[in-house]
Structure 1
Amino acid sequence: MPQISVDYSAGLAGTFDRRALGLAINRLAVKTIAAQPEACKTLFRANDDFVVGEGDGPDAQVFVEFQIFPGRTPEAKAALSEGVLALLAEHISPAPGTRLFTAVNIEDIDRESYRSTTAAG
């Protein structure tokens, strides 16, 4: 654990290296919330549509969500959120004139009901 989802506007696809960003996010999770490296799983999902307000200008968004087991302090979660925002600023360069909205959310999952498996192919 953690399960990490990165939803991003499809128009950003060519502006950043997803693998490099994913590895940086995983390393940050290890450093800030004591996650085990092999437990960090980051999934990227491109979204075709993103509209803000009246939809006037070219806008894009990157939204990162962490699902983690409970027990991390609010300070550790805040450090993780701030660190992820800094990584997004480092790794993503939208087209000129595009407003980039970035956000991070960290959720505790229910340890009692969570299940996972690993299968070799």
Structure 2
Amino acid sequence: MPQITVERSAYLDDVDWEEFAVALHPVVVETAAARLEACKTRVLRTEDDIVGAEWERHAIVNVSIALLAGRSDETKARLTEAVVELLRKHVQPQDGLTLHLSAEVRDLDPSYRKAEV
């Protein structure tokens, strides 16, 4: 915990996603009182991104952060705002490409368990 998933368009191969994750983890720690060593991020490249009726020249990035329950709605909102601002710093606009940047924070299901082996 936190479990972080970044889904991003193939158009954004030039972004340094490792650098983004390293910058993201302290934001999660500071905003949501998480431990740095507990932050885990996976970046998933999507191949087919469709916006409305268009399948070209749109790049989508969505960051999903799953936390153990207990954070207030205000804390979650502050975190999503901070994540979108961080995305703006790391994902630069490109000519002819519309960027769609989003973030969400949700509670992990109470059944969540983890193991480190």
Shared fold, TM over 0.5 = yes
TM-score of the pair, normalised by structure 1 = 0.92
DSSP 3-state at the match of 1:62: strand
Show the 5 A alignment for 1:90-101. 90-101=89-100
Quote the residue 1:83 is aligned against: 82
CA RMSD of aligned residues (A): 1.2
DSSP 3-state at the match of 1:114: coil
Quote the residue 2:7 is aligned against: 7
In the alignment of these two chains, the number of paired residues is 117
Quote the residue 2:25 is aligned against: 26
Unaligned runs of 5+ in 2: none
CA–CA separation in structure 1 for the residues paired with 2:22 and 2:74: 22
TM-score of the pair, normalised by structure 2 = 0.95
Q: Which runs of 4+ in 1 moved over 2 A?
A: none
CA change 1:6–1:56 in 2 (3 A) is: closer
CA–CA separation in structure 2 for the residues paired with 1:33 and 1:56: 36
DSSP 3-state at the match of 2:20: helix
Deviation at 1:57, TM superposition (A): 4.8
| Aligned equivalent of 2:115, options 89, 114, 117 | 117
Deviation at 1:94, TM superposition (A): 3.8
